[in-house]
C-alpha cells in the first residue's frame, strides 16, 4: 500500500493544488464512512495491528490518532478508524461557522516533508458539527476527541464564552476535548496561552463540564480536558500552562501545534513554501515537539497525560515521543507524505520496540527514554 501510495497516488495528488486535493480526499473518505461494509473492507486491507493502551480512563486499540485540522467538520469519523487510527480528533470547531482565511492558505514543501498552513479555523460551527457527530455516533468504533477553537469574530476577552458554547453543544458526543489556544492563524489566539486568560477559559469549561455531567445524571463523569500548546512557547511559559493544567485538574496536554518558526534545514536553500505566513508542521517540527513533550513529562511526573504530535512519520519518531513521555500520538503531515500505510507501520514498529526492550505494554514504555533499536521491519 505504501508503494501504491508513493508510486501512483502521491505523484497524482501532489500535481494538484493542496487544498483542492485535501477536500477531494476528505469527500472520498466521507463517502467511505457512510458504508460499514466498505469500512470493514478497508480495515481488512490495511490490517492495522492492535496495540492497546489505556489513557485517562479510556481504552484505545492503538495509540496512533489523527491530529486535529484534517477533519475539521467531523465528516469522515468512521473512516479514520477503518484506516487504522486508534482515535481521531475532529475540529477546530468554533462557536460560529466561518470561512477561514482567503485561499491559497495551504502549502507543501515535499522535499522537506513539511506543510505550512494558515487555514484560520474554517469550519461549519458547533451547531452544524453537532449534527455530523449525531449522524456518525452509531458507526463510531474508536474514541473521538473534539478540538475547540475561538471564532475570529469573538473578542479575545470573550474567548471563554466561545469555547464554552462549543464545548456544551458537543459535550455528549466527544470522548475528550482539546482547548486549542495555540493555532497561529487566528489573530491573538496564542495570547490565550497566557496564565490569566487561560485560567478564565479553564474555569468556564470546568464549570460547564460539571454542569453537563450533572444534567445527564448525577453519576456521570466530566469529560477529559486537554490544552494544546505551541512549540514556540518558552519553557517557562510551558511551565505556567503545566501549573494551570494541574491546578485545573485537566487530563493532560497536547504537544504540539504547528510552529511559526522555520527550523533550519539540511538543504542549502529554503523551499518557497517557507516564505508563506502560517504554521509549519511535518518533519522539521519533529525534534522541537519531542523536546517540549520531554520537558512536560519531566515537570509533571505522570500527573498529566501527554498526547504527542509533531513530525511523526515513522516508528523511530513515534518511539521517541512515547519514550519522551507521550502516552498517545497523533499525526497529520505524515499521513499526507507517506499515505495510510504509515499507521500500521508505526503501530507494528512500536510493538517491535516493546519486544526489544522487554516492556509488557505500551504504558510501561511511556517516559522510559528507552533507545530505538532498528530492525528490518521498521527502518
Ligand X SMILES: Cc1cc2nc3c(=O)[nH]c(=O)nc-3n(C[C@H](O)[C@H](O)[C@H](O)COP(=O)(O)O)c2cc1C
Using the minimum distance from each CB to ligand X, give the nearer residue, 39 or 63: 63
Selecting among 166, 182, 183, 317, the annotated active-site residue is 183
Verify binding: residue 117, ligand X, rule CB under 6 A. yes
Verify binding: residue 340, ligand X, rule CB under 6 A. no
Is residue 256 within 8 Å of residue 288, measured between CB atoms? yes
Rounded to an integer, what distance in angstroms lies between the CA atom of residue 316 and that of residue 334?
A: 13
CA 231, 246, 330, 148 dihedral sign is negative
Residues 6+ apart with CB under 8 A from 186: 120, 121, 149, 150, 152
Using the minimum distance from each CB to ligand X, give the nearer residue, 208 or 336: 336
Cα–Cα distances in angstroms (integers) from residue 134 to residues 107, 127, 140, 170, 304, in the given order: 33, 11, 10, 9, 30
- Chain-centroid distance, C-alpha 288: 16
By three-state DSSP, how is residue 117 classified?
Answer: strand
Verify binding: residue 334, ligand X, rule CB under 6 A. yes
Is residue 93 within 8 Å of residue 144, measured between CB atoms? no
Binding residue for ligand X (CB under 6 A) from 98, 101, 281, 300?
A: 281
Q: Which stretch binds ligand X (CB under 6 A): 62-70, 188-196, 205-213, 321-329?
A: 62-70
Rounded to an integer, what distance in angstroms lies between the CA atom of residue 64 and that of residue 85?
A: 6
Binding residue for ligand X (CB under 6 A) from 69, 315, 339, 340?
A: 69
Binding residue for ligand X (CB under 6 A) from 94, 166, 257, 317?
A: 257
Q: Where are the alpha helices (DSSP H) in the chain?
A: 2-4, 10-13, 18-33, 36-46, 77-83, 126-136, 159-170, 195-216, 235-247, 286-300, 315-324, 333-338, 341-356, 362-365
Verify binding: residue 318, ligand X, rule CB under 6 A. no
Binding residue for ligand X (CB under 6 A) from 183, 300, 323, 378?
A: 183
Binding residue for ligand X (CB under 6 A) from 63, 78, 84, 92?
A: 92
Is residue 148 within 8 Å of residue 119, measured between CB atoms? no
Half-sphere exposure of 269 (CA within 13 A, CB side): 4
Q: State which of positions 131-150 bind ligand X (CB under 6 A).
A: 147, 149
For the window 152-181, what string marks contact with ligand X as x by the rule CB under 6 A?
A: ----------------------------x-
Binding residue for ligand X (CB under 6 A) from 29, 39, 67, 244?
A: 67
Rounded to an integer, what distance in angstroms lies between the CA atom of residue 59 and that of residue 359?
A: 18
Verify binding: residue 94, ligand X, rule CB under 6 A. no
Q: State which of positions 4-23 bind ligand X (CB under 6 A).
A: none
CA 352, 356, 360, 362 dihedral sign is negative
Give least dist CB 13 to ligand X, A. 15
Give least dist CB 265 to ligand X, A. 15
Binding residue for ligand X (CB under 6 A) from 311, 325, 340, 367?
A: 311
Binding residue for ligand X (CB under 6 A) from 106, 242, 250, 296?
A: 106
Using the minimum distance from each CB to ligand X, give the nearer residue, 14 or 40: 14
Verify binding: residue 312, ligand X, rule CB under 6 A. yes
In the residue annotation, 7 being an active-site residue is answered as no
Give least dist CB 149 to ligand X, A. 6
Q: State which of positions 218-247 bind ligand X (CB under 6 A).
A: 228
Rounded to an integer, what distance in angstroms lies between the CA atom of residue 352 and that of residue 29?
A: 30
Give least dist CB 353 to ligand X, A. 19
Residue ranges in contact with ligand X by CB under 6 A: 67-69, 72, 91-92, 106, 115, 117, 119, 121, 147, 149, 180, 183, 228, 257-258, 281-282, 285, 309-312, 331-334
What residues are labeled active site? 183
Amino acid at each position: 500500500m505504501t508503494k501504491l501510495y508513493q508510486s501512483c497516488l502521491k505523484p497524482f495528488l501532489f500535481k494538484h493544488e493542496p487544498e483542492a486535493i485535501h477536500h477531494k480526499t476528505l469527500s472520498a473518505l466521507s463517502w467511505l464512512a457512510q458504508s460499514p461494509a466498505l469500512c470493514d473492507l478497508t480495515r481488512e486491507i490495511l490490517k492495522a495491528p492492535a496495540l492497546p493502551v489505556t489513557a485517562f480512563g479510556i481504552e484505545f486499540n492503538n495509540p496512533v490518532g489523527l491530529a486535529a485540522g484534517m477533519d475539521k467538520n467531523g465528516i469522515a469519523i468512521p473512516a479514520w478508524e477503518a484506516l487504522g487510527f486508534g482515535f481521531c480528533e475532529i475540529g477546530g470547531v468554533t462557536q460560529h461557522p466561518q470561512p477561514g482565511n482567503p485561499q491559497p492558505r495551504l502549502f507543501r514543501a515535499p522535499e522537506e516533508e513539511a506543510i505550512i498552513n494558515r487555514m484560520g479555523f474554517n469550519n461549519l460551527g458547533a451547531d452544524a458539527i453537532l449534527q455530523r457527530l449525531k449522524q456518525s455516533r452509531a458507526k463510531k468504533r474508536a474514541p473521538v476527541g473534539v478540538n475547540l477553537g475561538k471564532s475570529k469574530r469573538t473578542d479575545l476577552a470573550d474567548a471563554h464564552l466561545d469555547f464554552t458554547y462549543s464545548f456544551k453543544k458537543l459535550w455528549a458526543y466527544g470522548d475528550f476535548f482539546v482547548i486549542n489556544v495555540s493555532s497561529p492563524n487566528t489573530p491573538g489566539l496564542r495570547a490565550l496561552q497566557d496564565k490569566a486568560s487561560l485560567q478564565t477559559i479553564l474555569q468556564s469549561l470546568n464549570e460547564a463540564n460539571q454542569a453537563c455531567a450533572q444534567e445527564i445524571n448525577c453519576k456521570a463523569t466530566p469529560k477529559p480536558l486537554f490544552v494544546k500548546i505551541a512549540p514556540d512557547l518558552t519553557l517557562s511559559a510551558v511551565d505556567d500552562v503545566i501549573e494551570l493544567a494541574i491546578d485545573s485538574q485537566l487530563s493532560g496536554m497536547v504537544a504540539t501545534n504547528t510552529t511559526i518558526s522555520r527550523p533550519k534545514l539540511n538543504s542549502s536553500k529554503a523551499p518557497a513554501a517557507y516564505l508563506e505566513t502560517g504554521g509549519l508542521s511535518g518533519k522539521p517540527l519533529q525534534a522541537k515537539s519531542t523536546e517540549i513533550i520531554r520537558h512536560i513529562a519531566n515537570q509533571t511526573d505522570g500527573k498529566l497525560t501527554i498526547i504527542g504530535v509533531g513530525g511523526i512519520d515513522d516508528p523511530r519518531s513515534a518511539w521517541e515521543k512515547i519514550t519522551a513521555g507521550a502516552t498517545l500520538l497523533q499525526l497529520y503531515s505524515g499521513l499526507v507524505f507517506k499515505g495510510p500505510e504509515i499507521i500500521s507501520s508505526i503501530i507494528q514498529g512500536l510493538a517491535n520496540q516493546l519486544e526489544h526492550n522487554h516492556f509488557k505494554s505500551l504504558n510501561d514504555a511511556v517516559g522510559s527514554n528507552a533507545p530505538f533499536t532498528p530492525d528490518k521491519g521498521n527502518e
